[in-house]
Amino acid sequence: MKAVSRRTVLSIGPGLTAAAALSARTGAAPPARKPNIIFIVADDMGVADLSCYGAPQIRTPAIDRIAAEGARFTQAYANSAVCTASRVAIITGRYQYRLPIGLEEPLARNEIGVPPEQPVLPSILRAAGYETWLIGKWHLGPLPKYGPLQSGYDHFFGFRGGALDYFKHYEPGSDLWDGDTRIEQHGYLTDLIGQRAVDVVHAQNGKAKPLFMSLHFNAPHWPWEGPDDEATSAKLAYRELIGEAGTLATYNRMVEAMDKQVGRVLEALAQTGQADNTLILFTSDNGGERFATTWPFNGRKSELLEGGIRVPSVVRWPGRIPKGVVSDQMMIHMDWLPTLTAAAGTAPDPKFPSDGISLLPVLTQGARPVERSLFWRYKSNAQRAVRIGNYKALKIAGNTFLYDVAADPMERANLKRRMPDIYKRLTDAWMAWNAGMLPEVPQSYTYNNAGGEWSDHINTPAIDVNAVDGGGAWPP
Residue by residue, DSSP assigns 330-375 as -EEGGGHHHHHHHHTT----TTS--SS---HHHHHH-PPP---EEE
Does residue 18 sit within a domain? no
Which pTM value belongs to this model?
0.93
Domain boundary among 365, 392, 421: 365
Residue 75: pLDDT above 90?
A: yes
> Alpha-carbon distance 295 to 306, whole Å?
10
Query: In total, how many domains does the chain have?
Result: 2
Residues 213 and 122 reside in one and the same domain: yes
pLDDT tens digit string along 405-456? 999 999 999 999 999 999 999 999 999 999 999 999 999 999 887 766 666 7
118 belongs to a structural domain: yes
- Which of 17, 70, 7 has the alpha carbon at shortest distance from 318? 70
Query: 139 catalytic, yes or no?
Result: yes
* 444 & 340 share domain: no
Q: Identify the CA nearest to 382 among candidates 467, 319, 315, 297.
A: 467
Alpha-helix residue ranges (DSSP H) falling in 93-159:
121-127
Residue 79 and residue 334 in contact, taking contact as beta carbons nearer than 8 Å: yes
Determine the distance from the C-alpha atom of residue 463 to the mean position of all C-alpha atoms in its chain, rounded to a whole number: 24
CA dist., res. 434 & res. 428, Å (int): 10
Q: Which of 139, 169, 221, 333 is catalytic?
A: 139
Residue 51's CB: how many other CB atoms inside 10 A? 17
Q: What is the distance between the alpha carbons of residues 216 and 83, in angstroms, rounded to a whole number?
A: 11
Question: Which residue out of 52, 83, 169, 333 is catalytically annotated?
Answer: 83
Nearest 5°: phi and psi at 296? -95, 20
52 is catalytic: no
Q: Of the given ranges (169-173, 197-201, 269-273), which has the lowest mean pLDDT? A: 169-173
Residues 55 and 102 in one domain: yes
Do residues 287 and 82 make contact, with C-beta atoms less than 8 angstroms apart? no
Same domain, 109 and 183: yes
Burial of 417 (0-12, 13-18, 19+ CB in 10 A): exposed
CA distance linking residue 207 with residue 428, whole number of Å: 52
Q: Which domain holds residue 435?
A: 373-469
For the stretch 246-280, pLDDT in tens is 899 999 999 999 999 999 999 999 999 999 999 99
Q: What is the CATH number of the domain that holds 100?
A: 3.40.720.10
